[in-house]
Amino acid sequence: MKLLSHSAWWILNKQITREFGAEASLFLSILCDKSEYADLDGWFPCTADYVECATGMSSHIQRKAATAFKGAGLIEQAKKGVPGKNHYRVNDAQLLKFLGTTSQRFKPQAAKKIENINGSNNSFNNSLTRKAGGKIQIEKELLKGAKLIYEEFHKREVGPGPRFDAASVGALKKILYYFDQQVRGAEQNAGKDTDAIAELILQAWCTILAPGNWKALRPFLRDGVKLLRINSNLEEIIKSIRDVAGKNETKELAGAAQNWYNEL
């Protein structure tokens, strides 16, 4: 899980910091960065000495932070090896849920406006996307939520500050339009309201960009982090994630994809 990882600096997530404090937020950032070297079961070593050397954080503060995150279900901790060393596993799904990069992140800002789409003044006719005159139009709050998710992905894979120029926004609109058609075309989604469809669309987008799923892609696909490339490779990316979900025994790697595809 590299959502909070660092390159030349430490990243403190605002939501984590508000809930657990700055020192704990820094501790979790270190774990997320170290998880790049996790084994197939998601476990990776991270000793108290390493954290203290890197940050000056005492072992007492580390234990306090670990206890808080374990209580919230964000991480697991175990002694492994001889002599036993601290190993951790980041709960990707729970962390994503906490950070709100799925529908939870979208709904506080957009739920009321999405619900209002069902009103009589809705030019989208109870849909979130439409094609008109050869152009794709996306309900603005859905587009906003999708941008937030991509920003987190871009921060993890490249660094902060993705550029949403006209071409990139156009590619994102095509991606959302594709997901909308797929979600609405599934028999089990018949009759779901606009808010529920919006959640499924954003969950699909999160699934594509989830750390374990993206890391499992072939280098050609994984290196294409720009929206234009993701749109061009979208069907191949989805097929690859389906293959991973069907063949890989590691729940952390396949779980997010499998959960969404079960909805389709």
Each residue of 15-32: pLDDT tens digit?
788 788 888 888 998 898
pLDDT of the residue at 105: 40
pLDDT band at 249 (very low <50, low <70, confident <90, very high): very low
Tally DSSP H helices, then E strands, for the chain: 14, 5
Question: Does position 99 have pLDDT exceeding 90, yes or no?
Answer: no
pLDDT of the residue at 184: 79
pLDDT of the residue at 34: 85
Q: For the chain, give every domain's residue range.
A: 14-91, 100-263
Amino acid at 264: L
Question: Does position 87 have pLDDT exceeding 80, yes or no?
Answer: yes
Mean pLDDT of the region 233-247 = 79
pTM score: 0.50
pLDDT band at 2 (very low <50, low <70, confident <90, very high): very low
Q: How far is CA 210 from CA 15, 127, 142, 153, in A?
A: 19, 26, 18, 8
**Cβ atoms within 10 Å, residue 9:** 9
The mean pLDDT of the chain is 76
| Vertex 199 angle, CA 130 and 184, to 5° | 45
As a whole number of angstroms, the distance between CA 32 and CA 78 comes to 16
Give the rounded distance of the alpha carbon of 111 from its chain centre.
19
Q: What is the pLDDT of residues 184-235, one digit of tens each?
A: 777 677 777 777 788 888 888 888 888 878 888 888 998 999 999 999 999 9
As a whole number of angstroms, the distance between CA 213 and CA 241 comes to 6
Q: Which fold has domain 14-91?
A: Arc Repressor Mutant, subunit A (1.10.10)
Q: How far is CA 87 from CA 31, 33, 47, in A?
A: 10, 14, 8
pLDDT band at 143 (very low <50, low <70, confident <90, very high): confident
Question: Does position 47 have pLDDT exceeding 80, yes or no?
Answer: yes
pLDDT of the residue at 127: 61
As a whole number of angstroms, the distance between CA 107 and CA 196 comes to 10
As a whole number of angstroms, the distance between CA 82 and CA 231 comes to 47
Q: Report whether 164 contacts 147 (CB < 8 A).
A: yes
Mean pLDDT of the region 226-252 = 75
